Amino acid sequence: MTLSANLVERVLAGETRAMARMMSYAESTRAEHRTQLADIYGHAGKAHLVGLTGVPGSGKSTLVRSMTLALREQGKRVGIVAVDPSSPFSGGAILGDRVRMADLATDDGVFIRSLATRGSLGGLARAALDTADVLDAAGFDVVLIETVGVGQDEVDIATAAHTVIVVSAPGLGDGIQAIKAGVLEIADMHVVSKCDRPDANKTVSDLKAMLGLGLTGRGPSKWEVPVIPTSAETGEGVETLVETIGAHSEHLRASGELVERQRKIAEMRVLKTAEDIVRERIEAERNGGLGPLLEKTASREMDPLTAAHKLLRDLKLES
């Protein structure tokens, strides 16, 4: 057995060190690492993926912890992929999610992996979903993918899940911000965290009113998008949320929507990966042919479209 095949077998057996190594490959661009991840992909597809998105401060990490505890009570193994903010200047990840979830680290039925944005989300969707594949192939029943905000790339990561949860909190104006970011439409369920706060009822009412305008979930569906108030402090609503996720999973299977959703996820992953490959090729040209093109564009000797086509021809990506 080759070293590559051995690593894959160890991941499938749920060996923690093998999983961690394979996950590190998800953030790599080396061809041999990508090949091993390709081997993992064929073994994934059994776990239920749950994407959580919402503006910073809405309590996503605390909610993920509470959800994980509830899922563990059901006997489910839970993988967590936390997309973490980091400084665009230092490149150092805050990785605060690890701190908030420290008490889960001793549970063999929970695996937490943080991915740092390092100031750019380029390639992060691929890394996050490849990481989820590793957890899936290793036998985890549910994979929670938590993103740091509501930017387009983060929304792409969240929507590459079977169930998408948009998290709001009282006092942050989340409903309005969600509409601006185009987030309201992608939710399979809305969660209002910190519902023990006095203004939580208004946030719940506002979201229900917006949903009443017809801004419901992804595509045609008979699924009625719920608004679920939760509190990490009191535990209120967490069990209801977990039960609703299970109900949504059953709905997707029974209605046949799961097949279509899987196809859309596959489409997004193929296109995102292609974008990443082109981006990497262009980045490699920064010290080569790209420099003169940028100079000509900056001096207005050449327009951006012409320069872009020339760059693609130079990279043999366009005839």
Q: How far apart are CA 159 and CA 155, in angstroms?
A: 6
Residue 83's identity, in one-letter code, is V
According to DSSP, the residues that pair with 81 across neighbouring strands are 113, 145
According to DSSP, the residues that pair with 50 across neighbouring strands are 144, 163
205 located within any domain: yes
With 50 as the cut, is the pLDDT of residue 151 above it? yes
Q: Please give the pLDDT value at position 273.
A: 85
Which of 210, 240, 191, 199 lies closest to 55 in space, CA to CA? Answer: 191
54 and 60 Cβ atoms separated by less than 8 Å? yes
Express each pLDDT in 285-308 by its tens digit.
777 778 889 999 999 999 999 999
242 located within any domain: yes
122, with CB counted inside 10 A (0-12, 13-18, 19+), is middle
276 and 108 Cβ atoms separated by less than 8 Å? no
277 located within any domain: no
- State how far the alpha carbon of 28 is from the alpha carbons of 156, 162, 271, in Å: 20, 26, 18
Per-residue b or e along 307-316, where b marks 16 or more CB atoms closer than 10 Å to that residue's CB: beebbeeeee
Express each pLDDT in 60-115 by its tens digit.
888 999 999 999 999 999 999 988 655 443 344 445 555 566 678 788 999 999 88
Q: How far apart are CA 319 and CA 314, in angstroms?
A: 9
Q: How many residues does this entry show for the chain?
A: 319
58, with CB counted inside 10 A (0-12, 13-18, 19+), is buried
| Percent of the chain at pLDDT exceeding 70 | 83
- State how far the alpha carbon of 8 is from the alpha carbons of 4, 78, 95, in Å: 6, 20, 27
Q: How far apart are CA 208 and CA 1, in angstroms?
A: 56
39 located within any domain: no
102 located within any domain: yes
284 located within any domain: no
Q: What are phi and psi of 169, to 5 degrees?
A: -135, 150
Q: Which of 147-151, 215-219, 240-244 has the highest mean pLDDT?
A: 240-244
Residue with structure tokens 């990840």?
A: 93
- CATH code of residue 185: 3.40.50.300
Split into its structural domains, the chain has a count of: 1
Q: Which domain holds residue 163?
A: 45-257
Express each pLDDT in 229-280 by its tens digit.
999 888 899 999 999 999 999 999 999 999 999 999 999 889 888 888 888 8
125 located within any domain: yes
108 located within any domain: yes
For residue 191, give both structure tokens. 């969660």
